[in-house]
Structures are given as structure tokens and as C-alpha cells.
Structure 1
Amino acid sequence: MSQSPETNDTGPPRPRPAVVRWLETAELVTGALLLAVIFTLMLVQATQRHLPVSGWVWTGELARFGLVWLTFSLAGHLVGKDEHVTLKLVDHVVGGRALRAVWILANLVVAAVAVGFVFEAAELVFGGSPQTTPALDIPLSWTYVIPMVGLALAALRALANTLLPAPPVVESVPEERAE
């Protein structure tokens, strides 16, 4: 089992700066609100199928966009808490300064990839595409704003990981003894 990134080997957890704590709270509130919106829209859509009235097509479209927005809005939170998809193989082999170097390198790679995605998303947002969504009729470029912001936050959180916390400590898995 691994400790959270806020802990170190020498003592109690180091407090994160207030800005980081505020950002984590904002990301979680945004994610919870988007999840509630998705749930409500899907419930409305399912209810409409059983009523003798015409349904609102925009509920399904907005729910699908909400799922994408939820994914990207929580990307920064997952990177900051080291809960994103990772390969922890190196954590079992090396320790100390080597583990810290791998931790920093991995976070720099995540930050670089996220920055690349931010530039691509910014091109989609500010490119001025004349397309609109089918049901809601909102400009398609607006739908890329939340992914752009979420990836920018992921890049910032990955960079903050290189400076603020120590890498998580992974306990070695005991091997079974052959008898």
C-alpha cells in the first residue's frame, strides 16, 4: 500500500499550500456538480421515454458532453493526488533519491504531454469553427474550454508535484515462501 504524496519518510505529512488545497476543493466540487448534472439529465431522459410526450433531445447531448467534461475537469485532481493511471514498477525496485528522480521525471513527462494537449485544445477553442452542436446549437469551440482548463490544471499539478511533495512510498509486497 502506498502513502499519499503529502507524506515523507521523516515525519508527519507536510501541509500543502492553501492555494493547492483550494484548487483541490474546487476541482472536487466541479466534479461532483458535473456528476449530479449527468445523473439528473440521464434520469430525465429515461423518464421521458416512459411518458406520452415528446422528449428533449438536448438532455442526452448535454449528458455526453458532461461526461467528457467530468473526465477532463478531474484530471488535475488525479495528477495532484497521484491517483491517475501509473505504472508503479520502479517504486518497488528503487528507493531514496533514485525514486525521487523517477517521480520528478514522470511528472515532467505528464506536464509536457498535458501542455501539448492544452495547445491543441486552445487551437480548437480559439480557432473560430463555425460548427455548432446538433441539439443545443452552441458553438462547438465552446465545448473544448473545460478540457483545455482541466489539462492546464493537470500540467500545473504535475509541475507542483516536482516541487512540493515527496513521491509516495510503496511498501514491498511480501513474497510467498515455498515449502
Structure 2
Amino acid sequence: MLTMVFALMFTQAVQRHLPVAGWVWTGELARYGLVWLAFALAGYLVGRDEHITLKIVDLFLRGRALRTVWVLANLVVAAVAAGLVLDAAELVFGGSPQRTPALGVPLSWTYAVPMAGLALAGLRALLNTLLPTPPALETRPSEEAR
């Protein structure tokens, strides 16, 4: 997906310096591709505990307290993802007659990738609550090694 976005943006940049008519759809597809990439990676990042979080709590809490905060944070992520999936499902299955300007793709189709990515993020967050420790802490050097 990242390669596709790069190739489309490169094509769009090259077209600006050539004396030919440009393809308008390249910019539109690159923008959608970037959004799709972000939402498609959401589940992967939540599963590896590499999404945007405040890691300051990890420095001060240990054991059961850290696990409790981590489980609560994952439950919040799952709840937010579920709400966003419901809204995205309404947009996907709502049957809007609108189409994208350049490509003519039904606008409801463009919300399918964010819906799937957020559903996976919510599922991964729920599965994280079953893990004994956050994945990022498993790879962190121990206190004795410092």
C-alpha cells in the first residue's frame, strides 16, 4: 500500500512537469490509499502494543497494577473501535448515492477498509486483555540488565 501511494504521488509529480494532460485520479487514489493504510495498520499496531499510548505508567507501575491499567486501556480501545465500526458500517451499508469525484467509485466502498481495520483493532484489543503482560514489556530489558 505504501508503495502504491509513493508510485501514485510520484506519477502526479512527474505529470506536473510534462506538457501532457494529467491524471486527476492519481492524487485521489493516493489520498485514499494513505487513509486505508493507516486504518489497515491499526489492528497490527494494537496487537503489538505499538499504537499511540502514554508509556509513562509503565515506568512507575509493576505487576498487578500495571496489568490492570493495561487491561482497562485495551477495553477502552476496544469500546472506541466498536463505536467507530458501527459508524463505519452505517456508512458502508447505508447506500449513499455519492461517488468519488475523479474515479467514480461509490463513496460507501471507501469506508470498507477503515471498518475492517477498526474491527481488527477492537478484536486485537480484546485479545490483549487475555495476555499475561503487554508485548512491549516482554521485550524490554530487565531491571538487572541495567
Superposed pair shares fold, TM > 0.5: yes
Q: Does 1:164 align with 2:131?
A: yes
Give the corresponding residue for 1:69: 36
Give the corresponding residue for 1:97: 64
Task: Describe how 1:70-89 pairs up with structure 2 within 5 A.
Answer: 70-89=37-56
Segments of structure 1 that go 5 or more residues without pairing to the other structure are 1-33, 173-179
Q: Does 1:38 align with 2:5?
A: yes
- Superposed CA deviations along residues 92-138 of structure 1, whole A, max 9, x for unmatched, are 22210111111111101000000100000000000010100000001
Give the corresponding residue for 1:140: 107
Q: CA deviation at 1:88?
A: 1.5
SS at structure 2 position matched to 1:164: coil
Contact map agreement 1:114 1:151 (CA 8 A) in 2: yes
Cα distance in 2 for residues equivalent to 1:126 and 1:164:
34
Cα distance in 2 for residues equivalent to 1:139 and 1:145:
11
Contact map agreement 1:92 1:171 (CA 8 A) in 2: no
Q: How many residues align?
A: 140
Amino acid at match of 2:65: A
CA RMSD in angstroms, aligned pairs only: 1.6
Match of 2:122 among 150, 155, 158: 155
Cα distance in 2 for residues equivalent to 1:60 and 1:98:
48
Cα distance in 2 for residues equivalent to 1:42 and 1:153:
28
Contact map agreement 1:38 1:67 (CA 8 A) in 2: yes
Amino acid at match of 1:50: H
Q: Which structure would you say has the larger RCO, counting Cα contacts within 8 Å and 6 or more residues apart? A: 1
SS at structure 1 position matched to 2:111: helix
Q: Does 1:112 align with 2:102?
A: no
- Superposed CA deviations along residues 36-65 of structure 1, whole A, max 9, x for unmatched, are 110010111111111111000000000000
Q: Does 1:60 align with 2:27?
A: yes
Q: CA deviation at 1:149?
A: 0.2
TM-score (norm 2): 0.91
SS at structure 2 position matched to 1:138: coil
Give the corresponding residue for 1:47: 14
Q: CA deviation at 1:164?
A: 2.8
Segments of structure 2 that go 5 or more residues without pairing to the other structure are none
